[in-house]
Structure 1
Amino acid sequence: MLGKLRYAVDEIAANYDRRTWWQNRTANRIIAPIQAQLHNSDGIRVLDREWDTLLVLDACRADLFEEVVETETYDSYERVYSAGSATNEWVRANFSGPAQTDCVYVTGNPVVSRQVETAFHHFLEPWREEFDPEIGTVPPEPVTETALAAREQFPEKRLIVHYLQPHYPFIEAPHLRYAEFNGTEEVTVKNAKPGATDIWEAVGLGYENPDDVWDAYADNLRRVMDAIEPLLDQPGRTVITSDHGNMLGEQMPLLPMGLYGHPPGIHHPILREVPWAVVDGESTVDSDRRVTADVKEQLRSLGYAD
């Protein structure tokens, strides 16, 4: 108890003058527990869906995707409800069960490496070698290269490819860099303005124009969409989705203030509704595994636990 109290005191001392920190902490510590009791959807479990290649675009709002991408060019498109409002929450919700030996996971995001609890057939981490200090992030192109090599090496396995984009830093807008992934974790850069640890807080504090930030956010999405093109031609069904969105001042029910970024534990359409764009192809997924997943989903819908 004493340790928790000391942690709380230290946390408040470090952040007492950050209005956006108070807003997000209020949402996380007060609203999130209430929502957990009232909300009737925990979101989809991606492993229960049918796909051969799953492309995860980190922090991609559904409305951003629909603005930038011509969704009608896909074989099907819908919004689905994510299992988390932050990457760590999404990873734990989707990959904390039994070993997934039919999957190969390629991640450009170090958060996945820290949070994933499930064993995979192969787990590849290009972020460890491909961090680019000039742009403050892991660019999407080497992640695709790793994924293409994995698909060639393991053609019979399901492939998950987790990109950092369109999550900040915004590659084409270095003047909007408030934080970067330094190769192991997210850190605040030296020239960030007081009280803003990331670009979303900077918008909330009035340091940056939200329209300019939205444009840079969209450019990051265009960059990763270009990078994933080679993976859309691979055999089988390919799905493009996201782990969560980002809030740019939208209000929460029961909370008379806007939220920024993606605090965990929050049920809000901006954070939880993510794209699910399907490119159909001849499936390479084993039919027995697909039937098993279908049966599990039907049992879950009837109220039976896994």
Structure 2
Amino acid sequence: MSVLDPIRYAVGELRTNYDDPVWRRKRLADRVVRPVHARWHGTDGLDIPAADWDVLVVLDGCRADLFEAGALDAGGGLDGADGGEWGDHGSVPIDPTPFDAYRRVTARGSATPEWLSGNFADGTFGDTVYVSANPYVARICGDAFHEVRAVWESAFDADMGTVHPAAVAAAARAADDAHPHKRLVVHFMQPHYPFLGHPDLQFAGIDADQVLGKRDAVTGEPHDPWEALALGRVDRRRLRRAYADNLAAVLPDALSVARDLRGRSVVTADHGNLLGERAWPIPARLYGHPIGVRTPALVEVPWAVVDGERRPVRDDGVAALDPADEATIDERLRRLGYRK
């Protein structure tokens, strides 16, 4: 390899993509923000396996301020979300009802793969059953648990490109019946895109052969709503409404799981989401949930506690995950808006 090859590569990238704002943001996040944040913050964040919980309910991609606005209505309604930041409630700390305690915590990641790696990839958890709508669990730490129940495989809605909350809640109750002596992680897909009830905000997903940016290599069209927002193709107010509606869609099932299953339940999130906030040390606005960017909107997540009679937990060892077809995992991740 010639010492000039990296320079030629960089020049080629600039020549091809200099006028692409999405590419520029991605390169700034990858080459500037991530290294600075990694050096400054390291792997700071709550150690999930060591925390005090029996049932962990994970809302994928849920900002703390969005949760605080939505969960104030115990039924999960977000009727006021058209006003203020997320509605009339804004970012006021939530009322303890329906929770026994609430605080914000720092997540070990700004995207699901990073959060999973930071908490579960280097250990074995024979006392835990993981019920998941997110395929990344299988890819990153599928052999780390006593059992993984892959709802993303058994109950994927091909039309919507996601897993509905009710399917995850049903799988959680079945896991609870089968494993009364295990901790349970119940990983819902919402409020992460795709947005239920907003077919007008569906995008094509990310092409398997695409290498630059996240847009279609031929048409230049966005492949997810955050990219569409960055390009001015989607109204910010409309997108915030859809994001809030996705939380409203999952909260009733998530809260029922937290209340009904035996043990100390915690409702949290793996990461948040950026809607154009600036990420130090650069002034550029970022969108979505890029890995390694540790801004408050991405790594401040809810930690809402529902106390109950504790589960008698025991470790019975881990089991190898029956590997799903890699092509299926790739397709599911693509439909959920992820790059492989």
What TM bracket, shorter-length normalisation? 0.7 to 0.9
- Residue 27 of structure 1 is matched in structure 2 by 29
Say whether the 8 Å CA contact 2:121–2:140 is kept in structure 1. Answer: no
In structure 2, what residue type is equivalent to 1:210? R
Cα distance in 2 between the residues matched to 1:8 and 1:106:
43
Partner residue, 2:48: 46
CA contact (8 A) 1:51 1:285 kept: no
Find 1:197's aligned residue among 217, 223, 246. 223
1:253 aligned partner, one-letter code = W
Q: 1:226 and 1:189 mapped to 2: Cα distance?
A: 34
Distance 1:53 1:242, change over 3 A: same
Give the drift of 1:15. 6.0
- Contact map agreement 2:273 2:298 (CA 8 A) in 1: yes
Residue 168 of structure 1 corresponds to 193
Q: Against the structure 1 CA distance between its residues 10 and 174, is the aligned structure 2 distance closer, same or farther, given a 3 Å change threshold?
A: farther
Shift of 1:129: 2.2
1:280 aligns with 2:283: no
Query: 1:64 is aligned with what amino acid?
Result: L
Tell me how far 1:155 sits from its aligned partner: 0.5
The amino acid of 1:171's aligned partner reads: L
The equivalent of 1:296 in structure 2 is: none
RMSD of aligned Cα (Å): 2.8
Cross-structure match for 2:146:
121
Return the alpha-carbon distance in structure 1 between the equivalents of residues 286 and 149 of structure 2. Answer: 34
Task: Determine the structure 1 residue equivalent to 2:279.
Answer: 252
Question: Residue 244 of structure 2 aligns with which residue?
Answer: 218
Equivalent pair of 1:18/1:196 in contact (CA under 8 Å): no
What's 2:78 paired with?
A: none
Counterparts of 2:206 and 2:52, CA distance in 1: 32
User: Structure 1's 159 and 259: CA in aligned 2 closer, same or farther, altered over 3 A?
Assistant: same
Structure 2: how far apart are the matches of 1:132 and 1:106?
17
CA distance in 1 between counterparts of 2:252 and 2:187 reads: 15
CA distance change for structure 1 residues 178 and 94 in 2, over 3 Å: closer, same or farther?
A: same
Which position in structure 1 is the counterpart of 2:253? 227
Structure 1 Cα separation of the partners of residues 201 and 311 of structure 2: 42
Partner amino acid, structure 2, of 1:264: I
Change (3 A) 1:12 1:264: farther
Q: CA deviation at 1:161?
A: 0.8
1:251-294 deviations in Å (ceiling 9; x for gaps): 11221110000110111000000000110011115499xxxxxx
- The answer to which of 15-24 and 102-111 deviates more is 15-24
| Greater fraction of residues in helix | 1
1:100 aligns with 2:102: no
> Which sections of structure 1, spanning at least 5 residues, go unmatched?
183-187, 289-306
For the Cα contact (< 8 Å) 2:60–2:187, is it kept in 1? yes
Alignment of 1:176-195 (within 5 A): 176-179=201-204, 194-195=220-221
Shift of 1:39: 2.1
Q: Distance in 2 between matches of 1:170 and 1:118?
A: 30
CA distance in 2, matches of 1:168, 1:272: 18
Counterpart amino acid of residue 254 in structure 1: P
Q: 2-side partners of 1:287 and 1:110: how far apart?
A: 26
Q: Aligned partners of 2:180 and 2:314: how far apart in 1?
A: 15
Structure 2 counterpart of 1:158: 183
Secondary structure, in 3 states, of the residue corresponding to 1:146?
helix
| Distance change >3 Å, CA 280–CA 12, structure 1 → 2 | farther
Higher mean Cα deviation, 35-44 or 254-263? 35-44
Tell me the number of residue pairs that the alignment of Structure 1 and Structure 2 aligns. 281
- Cα distance in structure 2, aligned partners of 1:13 and 1:69: 48
SS at match of 1:147: helix
Q: TM-score, normalised on structure 2?
A: 0.75
> Are residues 138 and 14 of structure 1, via their aligned partners in 2, closer, same or farther at CA, if it must alter by over 3 Å?
farther
Q: Distance in 1 between matches of 2:181 and 2:13?
A: 48
Q: CA deviation at 1:90?
A: 0.5
